[in-house]
Structure 1
Amino acid sequence: MALDKTRFENITPSRFITFTFPNPSNSTTLLRVAVLDTPFQLTGSPRVAAMLVPKQRESDWIFSTESGHLQLLLSSPGIARLILTGNQPSNGHHSRAIYHRPARNDSSCDGELGVSLKPLFLALSPKSCFKHGIPEIPILSYEDNVICGVVLERCVGSLVGEMVVEDVEIESGGEASKREFRRRLRFKRMPNLVQTEVRIVPNMGFGLDYVEIGEVEFRLDNSILVHPYLVPMVASLQLIASYIEGRIRSGFRPKALCLGVGGGALLGFLKAELGFQVVGVEVDKEVLRVARKYFGLEDGGGEHINVCVGDAIKVIEKLAGRGNGQSSGSVGAHEIVDDCAVLDGNDVDSKFDVVLVDLDSSDAGDGIIAPPFKFVRNDVLLDARSVLCDNGILAINVIPPNRSFYTTLIQEFREVFHELYEIDVGNGENFILIALVSPVTYSTSDCEDCFLNKLRMVISGAYMNSIKKI
């Protein structure tokens, strides 16, 4: 059936159209063309841009799904219509197919393809773009740090949907002698967002010169955190280091509640490197299966780690006592939230020293947003405060879609918590917002504070030094 080009004469918010087109560089193959219009109402003349899909990544959800396409559009300021063009993805998924980034000199071929496709891009542009002559259609490039990769497993969670676990080699900052390998978890509903990332290293016996993704066995290295915002989340503990030191000296393990488990890297790090007792809450049990199989989360939680399946807000509500008829913020030592015992029966203190929140929006149409809108409600924040001890803190990963969202979020937190601090992760996306129940107090000197010294040994001091009161 012939494609009616009049369909493209106007911008229709959120309209998504795909079709195939003969490849001008190879008459025996077809290109997949996908056209997506901005979900927002326009106020001025629309701008159109095109993007060539990187070779060998045509089946990647970033380029082959509407949600991935939407994230690319939203990350291209001022663009009202984004046209993706690439080779037709192969049928089916080859779970062990290895991706290798094409050599840099292949970019000349892409340039030639872009020139030959210019008439197509113009034909797919709205009529209003031609008010002042033939418009320029910029060809955007997609770049990330992945050199090569292989999919280990594709699976489906009942709530988060399709997932992929992959091993990748990433660029190592120009140091040829230092190669970096990671294991990652991504969700199809938000394909441009890496949900979990941990370092992996080759098993003994393999020199780095001979290591190839997909051909050797790797083991996990969970002694460091590599996901961009996890280190600054942990750095927030500096604000209550003296208090935690006092807890430890009194014979108690400090306690952390992690809302959002993913691969479990944060939980394992808090327990192994900082001596915390940790409770994790994850909404989808399939995610926990993946975390145990591929990311080292101890089966069944393990000593000093308890993990439960449940909605984070409902769990907070239960812990606060509103969800089970209790009137206080304390819960019994064996209180059950969904399918697990949340608290260690040997710990008489039922409150947490820190709550760490790593939740994102489940609606790709909202863009990449953290936390979800429903978490930033006064009643939810009051519940979160009530499960914290008097000197406790809440640290939350924030990916604001705009400054207004972040300003509103800060205002909501300011109504509930005594002091607020912020860490700019420095990647142009994430901020860590830190909320304190009580003002910061310092009761021991740095040289006496063993916990603070340990914290400085296991995470980057740069983030600790960048904590800013707001």
Structure 2
Amino acid sequence: MAVSPELEGLRRIAPSRFVSFSFPNPFLGHASNPYGEGSGGGGDGDAGECLRVAVLDSPIPSPPIPRTAAMLVPAGRHRDWIFSTRAGHLHLLLSTQFSRLILVGPELSVPSPRVIPCVARPDPDPAHARLLPLLLALCPMAAFRDNTVPDVPLLTFHDDHLLLAPVKFVTGPVVGEMVIEDVAIDCAPGPAELRRRLRFKRMPCLVQTQVRLCQSPAAAAASSSSSLLQVMEGSGGLLQPEVGGSLVQPYLQAMVAGLAVIAPSIEESIQSGVRPRCLCAGVGGGSLPMSIRVGLQFNVLGVEADGAVLDVARNHFGLVEDEFLHVHVGDAIQTIEDFSRRREPDVNFRAVMVDLDSSDAMCAVSAPPLEMIRESVLVAARTVLDKHGVLILNVIPPPADGSFYKGLIDLLQQVFSELYEIDVGNGENFVLAATVSPETALTGNSGHFLTELRKLAGDFLEHIRKL
């Protein structure tokens, strides 16, 4: 058994400390084995002689009596970056109220099936009792104050995925490793939905892009009597992204809804035959710029830091460039600043939409990056907007910084005339829409533009709140 020399230090909490080691598998031959045959892991067997144990302490200062929790890595997903990297582990920990989170799962050398059934563990989990001695040994000494034995709950990881199949791993010079993967989503009471998504290793819990998948007519005919598992195992390129359809990710719907605050000026442009111009800072898989171009008839310029990401968008997510949609490689913030210095009429935009996340994995998932929310950059963004323009920001406040969001609101209110907020409702994302004109006001439901906007944004038009 290979044991990390840092284990002795686990007697106390040390902010952001991360330790992983091998431990003899306590589930071998036992009925509670979460990785045995029939566990939904697609053939993990007994996951080997040893398990991988990873321990992470929260970067947030712990209380006098720190609390520890554990999680069994879902069967078949032990190599997923959510469970195998420090960045993914940190996101899981920060989504809880615990000071230490212990992940237990197969070693990373154990292969995963090509298509992974995503089966939730039972609650209460019968595996908890066999793990308890190990979990108690990994609790900090402060948790045993007054001779009490601490409770170490076994948390469950559950999402709406039924199946998951990696399609391709790609490495970009800026974003690093990324994965394109197909998933079957539980949309009960309706039928399951097939989607393709893009994730970066540096932020594995953040889905960068997600689009619906449709089958070619030949594939649909061949799979009419097949199970979802058979469809995904035999897809072989027969599943294609739905191009120009409705947006799948709620925060993107909310970003598009932000255009409602300048709907009268957009309606006027459309009626006069002039396409409004939009700058998309951050392209990802391209679903946002494609929807704005196709669904709302905008003239769109997208700026993406990594050319490999644009290649992925073109080859796997249906991004198509034409006379009204152009994308290029560059620093989006630098592009905004360069445009502001030029002060030429042809660089004025009706909207600047910022969908950039922090590149610092140890801040967990957060957006936009700190570089974007400097006063000089926000002034530059206002400069490149026309007199009826709007800056729309996707915001994920850092979990460890409660002042971030308020500070951003205060700064936007200093630079822009009006500020609106949309709560995405997922506990993470907010969308802020800051307008240049002080006369901007929300309008009713009339007009062609608002009708088309509602198709993309759905009910989020009803959740716009002026700050």
Give the direction of change, closer, same or farther, for the CA distance of 1:442–1:130 in structure 2 (3 Å limit).
closer
User: Letter of the aligned partner of 2:199 in structure 1?
Assistant: R
Matched, 1:45 2:59: no
Contact 1:179 1:208 in 2 (8 A): no
Q: What's 1:12 paired with?
A: 14
CA distance in 1, matches of 2:272, 2:442: 15
Counterparts in 2 of 1:432 and 1:375: CA distance versus 1, 3 Å: same
Q: Establish whether residue 450 from structure 1 lines up as the match of residue 448 from structure 2.
A: yes
Does the aligned pair in 2 maintain the 1:24–1:113 contact within 8 Å?
no
Letter in 2 for 1:167: D
1:459 CA displacement? 3.3
2:90 equivalent to 1:70: yes
Q: Using a 3 Å threshold, how does the CA distance of structure 1 residues 430 and 443 change in structure 2: closer, same or farther?
A: closer
Alpha-carbon distance in 1 for matches of 2:406, 2:390: 20
Question: Secondary structure at 1:229's aligned position in 2?
Answer: helix
Q: Following superposition of structure 1 onto structure 2, how do residues 374-393 of structure 1 map, counting pairs within 5 Å?
A: 374-393=371-390
Structure 1 pair 238–134 and aligned structure 2 pair: CA distance change class (3 A): same
Question: What is the deviation of 1:208?
Answer: 5.5
How far did 1:2 drift? 5.2
Looking at structure 1, the residues matched to 424 and 3 of structure 2 have their Cα atoms a distance apart, in angstroms, of: 49
Q: CA–CA distance in 2 between the matches of 1:265 and 1:126?
A: 46
Give how far 1:350 is off.
2.8
In the alignment, what sits opposite 1:21? 23
Q: Counterpart in 1 of 2:174?
A: 159
Checking the alignment, whether the CA contact within 8 Å between 1:352 and 1:387 is kept in structure 2 is yes
Q: Is the 8 A contact 1:240 1:440 kept in 2?
A: no
Confirm or deny: 8 A CA contact 1:149 1:214 kept in the other structure.
no
Instruction: Verify the 8 A CA contact 2:66 2:99 in the aligned structure 1.
Output: yes
Give the match for residue 219 of structure 1. 240
CA–CA distance in 2 between the matches of 1:155 and 1:350? 33
For residues 182 and 46 of structure 1, what CA distance do their matches in structure 2 show? Answer: 40
What is the CA–CA distance in structure 1 between the aligned matches of 2:4 and 2:373, rounded to whole Å? 45
| CA–CA distance in structure 2, aligned partners of residues 361 and 443 of structure 1 | 31
Equivalence for 1:125: 139
Q: Is the aligned partner of 1:84 residue 2:103?
A: yes
Indicate the residue corresponding to 1:179 in structure 2. 192
Q: TM-score, normalization: structure 1?
A: 0.88
Amino acid at match of 2:314: R
Question: 1:398 Cα deviation (Å)?
Answer: 0.6
**Change over 3 Å in CA distance of 1:254–1:112 after alignment to 2:** same
Aligned pairs for 1:126-275 (under 5 A) are: 126-132=140-146, 133-175=148-190, 178-205=191-218, 206=220, 209-210=225-226, 211=228, 212-216=231-235, 217-222=238-243, 223-275=245-297
For residue 116 of structure 1, what is the aligned residue in structure 2? 130
Find the residue that maps to 1:62 and give its secondary structure.
Answer: helix
CA distance in structure 1 between the partners assigned to 2:443 and 2:110 by the alignment: 63
Match of 1:345? none
Report deviation, 1:114.
Answer: 1.7
Residue of structure 2 equivalent to 1:338: none
Over 3 Å counting, the alpha-carbon distance change for 1:198 and 1:44 in structure 2 is: same
- The aligned length equals 435
Deviates more, 1:305-314 or 1:282-291: 305-314
The answer to whether structure 1 residue 464 and structure 2 residue 461 are counterparts is yes
Distance of 1:465 and 1:446 partners within structure 2: 10
Give structure 1 stretches of 5+ with no counterpart: 332-348
Counterpart amino acid of 2:10? Answer: F
The amino acid across from 1:218 in the alignment is L
Residue in 2 that maps onto 1:365: 362
Q: What does the per-residue CA deviation read over 1:23-50, in whole Å, with 9 as the maximum and x for residues that have no partner?
A: 1111652110001111233342211111
CA contact (8 A) 1:199 1:220 kept: yes
SS of 1:131's partner is helix
The more displaced of 312-321 and 247-256 is: 247-256
Q: Distance in 2 between matches of 1:286 and 1:459?
A: 29
Change (3 A) 1:36 1:441: closer
- Per the alignment, residue 419 of structure 1 pairs with 418
Structure 2 CA distance for aligned equivalents of residues 45 and 357 of structure 1: 41
Q: State how far apart, in whole Å, the 2-side matches of 1:443 and 1:151 are.
A: 43
Please tell me whether the aligned partners of residues 239 and 440 of structure 1 are also in contact (alpha carbons under 8 angstroms): no
Counterpart residue identity of residue 247, structure 2: L
The one-letter code matched in structure 2 to 1:202 is Q
* Equivalent-residue separation in structure 2 for 1:307 and 1:469 (angstroms): 32
Provide the residue aligned with 1:407 in structure 2: 406
- Match in the other structure for 1:290: 312
Give the SS at the match of 2:122.
helix
Runs of 4+ in 1 over 6 A off after TM superposition: 442-445
Match of 1:394 among 366, 391, 397: 391
Are the equivalent residues in 2 in contact too, given 1:242–1:452 (CA < 8 A)? no
State the match for 2:39 in structure 1. Answer: none
2:389 match: secondary structure: strand
2:344 paired residue number: 330
List per-residue Cα deviations over 1:356-412 (Å, max 9, x = no partner). 110111111112111111111100000000000000001110111254211111001
Find the aligned partners of 1:208 and 1:416 in 2 and give their Cα distance.
56
Mapped to 2, the partners of 1:371 and 1:440 lie a distance apart of 27
When residues 9 and 443 of structure 1 are mapped into structure 2, their CA distance, relative to the original with a 3 A threshold, is: closer
